[in-house]
Amino acid sequence: MSASSTPSKGPPADVPVSELWAALTSIPRPWQVVDFPRVDPITKEPLGQVAIWVLTQEEQIAASAEADQVAKRVLKDPQRAGEANLGYENIYNNESTVQVLYRACRDIKDVSRPAFPSASMLRKQLSIDEISVLAVLYMQVQASIGPIVSSMTVDEEELWIGRLAQAGNIYPIAALSLREQERLLVSLACRLASSLMVTSSPGSAPSDGGTNEAPKPESDLVIEAKALDDEDFVASGS
């Protein structure tokens, strides 16, 4: 086969690029600047800042592959099928964090450049706590600029319910984290249960607003909804 007949790895030349792809490639990659988690011993101010962006799927795969190679080099012992190797697992998980941060942390003056010379230098120079803090910051940036909604206010919940009703399908749900999907489902179920209780109640309320009936016990759905709210309240440290 001649060189001129070698199939191209790109899209056919006569096929126009989709509007979606054109938009994706024209918008700058989002990132956020955070303080580096080490302070100057004299001024007590952060030593500097780094920009953080969320990895692409290709970068995540590369980080995982490199972490696997590092773990195997450290152990000098291949992982055997069916054998529990806690050393490999722990080294791989720690190195995976290093590889992700090396690719995610960028120079604030030029985000096309990594903030650290290499993953190896990052691993050697940063403490365990500093790497842990950067990992948390990465997840916070991911939650902030990513498409997955990880928390909602009551007003935002109302907007989501309206969006679902307007769309007539469940596709918008894909943008919610599993936790928020559960909260939204419980909220909708509580509303439906309350509506059914109102419509099925016999008679009308007394004109003076008084009643001799004992208050109805809260449904399991309402209790579950309150439990979710309480968990979030505790998790927030309030």
In tens digits, the chain (238 residues) has pLDDT values of 444 444 444 444 555 668 877 777 788 889 999 999 999 999 999 999 999 999 999 999 999 999 999 998 998 876 666 666 788 889 999 999 999 999 999 999 999 999 999 999 999 999 999 999 999 999 989 888 877 666 667 777 777 777 777 766 666 677 777 777 777 777 777 777 777 777 666 555 555 555 555 455 555 555 555 565 555 555 545 4
Q: Flag whether 7 is in a domain.
A: no
Q: How far apart are CA 24 and CA 153, in angstroms?
A: 29
Give the list of residues 6+ apart from residue 134 with CB closer than 8 angstroms, or none. 37, 50, 101, 105, 126
Judge if 187 and 229 occupy the same domain.
Answer: yes
Among 112, 145, 178, where does a domain finish? 145
Judge if 134 and 191 occupy the same domain.
Answer: no
Residue 70 is predicted with a pLDDT of: 94
Among 77, 110, 145, where does a domain finish? 145
Give the list of residues 6+ apart from residue 150 with CB closer than 8 angstroms, or none. 143, 177, 179, 180
- Give the torsion sign (CA, 58, 31, 39, 140): negative
Q: How far apart are CA 129 and CA 223, in angstroms?
A: 39
Q: Flag whether 14 is in a domain.
A: no
Judge if 82 and 156 occupy the same domain.
Answer: no
Q: Which amino acid is at 153?
A: T
Q: Flag whether 23 is in a domain.
A: no
Residue 11 is predicted with a pLDDT of: 45
Q: Flag whether 215 is in a domain.
A: no
Q: Flag whether 4 is in a domain.
A: no
**Counted domains in the chain:** 2
Q: What is the pTM of this model?
A: 0.62
Judge if 107 and 135 occupy the same domain.
Answer: yes
Judge if 50 and 101 occupy the same domain.
Answer: yes
Judge if 155 and 96 occupy the same domain.
Answer: no
Taking each helix axis as running N to C, give the angle between helix 178-200 and helix 154-167, from 0 to 180 degrees, rounded to the nearest 10: 80
Of 101, 93, 21, nearest in space to 55 by CA: 101
Give the list of residues 6+ apart from residue 70 with CB closer than 8 angstroms, or none. 91, 95, 99
Judge if 106 and 166 occupy the same domain.
Answer: no
Backbone angles phi and psi of 6, in degrees to 5: -65, 125
Judge if 88 and 176 occupy the same domain.
Answer: no
Domain span at residue 97 reads: 28-145
Radius of gyration of the chain (CA): 27
Judge if 33 and 95 occupy the same domain.
Answer: yes
Residue 51: beta bridge partners?
Answer: 33, 106
Inter-residue contact 29 to 53 (CB < 8 Å): yes
Backbone angles phi and psi of 194, in degrees to 5: -65, -40
Judge if 155 and 137 occupy the same domain.
Answer: no
